[in-house]
Amino acid sequence: MTTRRIGPFAVSAIGLGCMNLSHAYGQPPSFEAAQALLLHALDRGVTLFDTAALYGFGTNEELVGRVLSPHRRQFTLASKCGMTGVDGKRVIDGRPATLKRTCDESLKRLRTEVIDLYYLHRWDRQVPIEDSVGALSDLVRAGKIQAIGLSEVSAATLRRAHAVHPIAALQTEYSLWTRNPEIAVLQACRELGTAFVAFSPLARGFLPGTLRDVSTFDAKDIRRAMPRFAPEAYAANLKLADGLAALAAEAGCTPAQLALAWLLAQGEHIVPIPGTTRIAHLDDDLGAAELPLPVSVLARAGTLINPDTVLGPRYNAATQAEIDTEEF
């Protein structure tokens, strides 16, 4: 697979977000199914695997460590701190002592001596970003992590953090239906030499067009609290997915491949990390990395699905208050 740069690392142009295997979208797959998917991704040339202490309150890191630690030299390992499970509840805590302690816990779960790319999962607004990044820079000097990333922050916060220590990657949601990074963050990343890692590049299952009935979501599925997945809004948004499917058929690819190809075309510093629990979906996604599509087709996709055509914000008010990203 073609590669792109994240700090000192050359990684596959499409990575794998591992969250789905333990967290967020209902009942996770069995260990055997998750193991098969992770190993298949490695065999297909994926060299960026993204997890976090939050996912499954540590169980996702344990899964990735158990399955992939024997192959540690073959891939770039990314994880996150600053948002973890405490007594069964999600807690945002960016205090330096907390970040250093949870890094040690993650290293143990991941069965590794060093985490290649370590993100601050959320900026704890009660702690200056300079203090949290300072703690992460201490971890770099200690040899426990190699590069620092930030998640869900604004361009202004990125610049403040970068003044303390080079930020190798900024991760936030980016896809045809979520364009917030285009306000300022993408340009800031270009200027600073920071890679942009796009999570939910397939819009949490929306863009492939196969998710038709949101009433079937598991009770704990995080999409139940997202305005775009509310029944009335989703019914309207489905028309956009149908239009994308028609355009993809015209171009001779799948909707997922078209959506990922569009994202890759937005900049050489962009690395999408779709997540899935199914090997067939993984293979479909990875096909986008080598897909030659006319610029006109990509432009039509962007015109079809964008902030002016999508109904509903990406987060509800309570969740939006926890993040620092620019909003339209």
Reading the block at residue 237, the tokens are 């948004």
The answer to whether 234 is a known catalytic residue is: no
Residue among 25, 55, 119, 234 flagged as catalytic: 55
Q: Percent of the chain scored above 70 by pLDDT?
A: 100
pTM as predicted: 0.98
**Helix H or strand E encompassing 117:** strand 115-120
Strand 115-120 to 76-81 pairing = parallel
Strand 83-86 to 89-92 pairing = antiparallel
> Rounded CA gap, 256 and 304, in Å?
15
Please tell us whether the domain made up of 3-203+260-291 is placed in CATH 3.30.428.10: no
What is the tens place of the pLDDT at every residue in 69-103? Answer: 999 999 999 999 999 999 989 999 999 999 999 99
What is the tens place of the pLDDT at every residue in 207-266? Answer: 999 999 999 999 999 999 999 999 999 999 999 999 999 999 999 999 999 999 999 999
| Residues 176 and 305: beta-carbon distance below 8 Å | yes
> Rounded CA gap, 281 and 272, in Å?
15
> Rounded CA gap, 122 and 118, in Å?
12
The three-point CA angle 273-220-51 to 5° equals 30
What are the residue ranges spanned by the domains of the chain? 3-203+260-291
Beta strands in the chain (DSSP E): 3-6, 9-12, 16-17, 48-50, 76-81, 83-86, 89-92, 115-120, 145-151, 167-173, 195-199, 270-272
